[in-house]
Amino acid sequence: MNHRPLLQIEHLNFAIGRQPILHDICATFAAGGIHGIIGPNGSGKSTLLKNLCRIWQPQSGRVVIDGNDYRRIGRKALSRLVTLVQQDTRVDFSIRVADFIAMGRHPHLKRLQGLRQKDLDIVEEALQLTDTRPLRERLINELSGGEGQLVSIARALATEAPIILLDEPTSALDIRHKLDIMELLVALREGGKTILISIHDLELARRYCDTVTMLHNGQVFFHGTTLDAFAQERIKEVFHVDVEEMASDRGVSLLFY
């Protein structure tokens, strides 16, 4: 992991109406890592990710991307820097998978400009990286949950954004598809992508993430290395369960009780 700060959150506050959701969020994420966002339901994980790509905007505080306040970056330019794969990837209209992935090229096109050969090549590369070539002629609204997640990640890759945000990409998947998604994220990290992933599965977070940001009641409860994140007293206070780390030849697993 490159330790150069790529994404910084400075005293971010966000509310919907009069309901505060995020309180004084501060965190720094290095380039080229998998950064886990964990916390109980309602702790603000999805809200934070939507603030980071400016779907929603904070009432106060700053988000800085590669040294630049993201409020000074145009919407199209921001889409070339950061992209979000939302939790629900279902699509209610019929479109070929290849065409759906090609939608990720829109931030790079001028108004009314069609796809260039370069864009088609990038779509092909995204299909190859996500192992979704066999799905290219399928309709997006006929895919399974696991297939839909992979195709949505492929569209995110087509944007060429260096920062990929994923909101609970494994929550509705079986264990095989969960592992497929996480191994894909490892490959993307090795290719230089910076990944922020909100995730309920603490086992997967412990195994795959380089850093962990733990949210509790809309605040940062912990932000640091994965090695330090799962201290028993910390998990007890935030998740109201006990945890024990179990070491084996295959790594560390978590036992909750």
**For residue 207, how far is the Cα from the chain centroid?**
16
In one-letter notation, the amino acid at residue 30 is: A
- Please give the mean pLDDT across all residues of the chain: 94
pLDDT confidence of residue 171: 85
pLDDT confidence of residue 71: 96
- pLDDT tens digits, one per residue of 96-144: 999 999 999 999 998 888 999 999 999 999 999 999 999 999 999 999 8
Q: Which residue has 């992935």 as its token pair?
A: 101
Is a pLDDT exceeding 80 seen at residue 89?
no
Is a pLDDT exceeding 80 seen at residue 67?
yes
In percent, how much of the chain has pLDDT > 90?
Answer: 85
- Note whether 225 and 39 are within 8 A (CB): no
The C-alpha R_g of the chain, in whole angstroms, comes to: 18
In one-letter notation, the amino acid at residue 136 is: R
| E strand or H helix at 245 | strand 243-248
What length does the chain have? 257
| E strand or H helix at 2 | none
* 192's tokens: 């230089």
- pLDDT tens digits, one per residue of 31-62: 999 999 999 999 999 999 999 999 999 999 99
Q: Which residue has 């779509």 as its token pair?
A: 123
- Note whether 188 and 195 are within 8 A (CB): yes
pLDDT confidence of residue 95: 94
Q: Can you tell me the distance from the alpha carbon of 25 to that of 42, in angstroms, rounded to the nearest whole number?
A: 15
Give Cβ neighbours of residue 84 (< 8 Å, ≥ 6 apart). Answer: 49, 50, 52, 53, 55, 156, 165, 166, 167
CA angle 53, 81, 30 (to 5 degrees): 85
- pLDDT tens digits, one per residue of 158-208: 999 999 999 999 987 889 889 999 999 999 999 999 999 999 999 999 999
pTM, to two decimals: 0.94
**β-pair partners for 64:** 8, 69
**β-pair partners for 28:** 8
* Structure letter (DSSP) for residue 115: P
pLDDT confidence of residue 62: 97
| Parallel, antiparallel or unpaired: strands 251-256 and 243-248 | antiparallel
* Structure letter (DSSP) for residue 155: H
State the CB neighbour count (10 A cutoff) for residue 110: 6
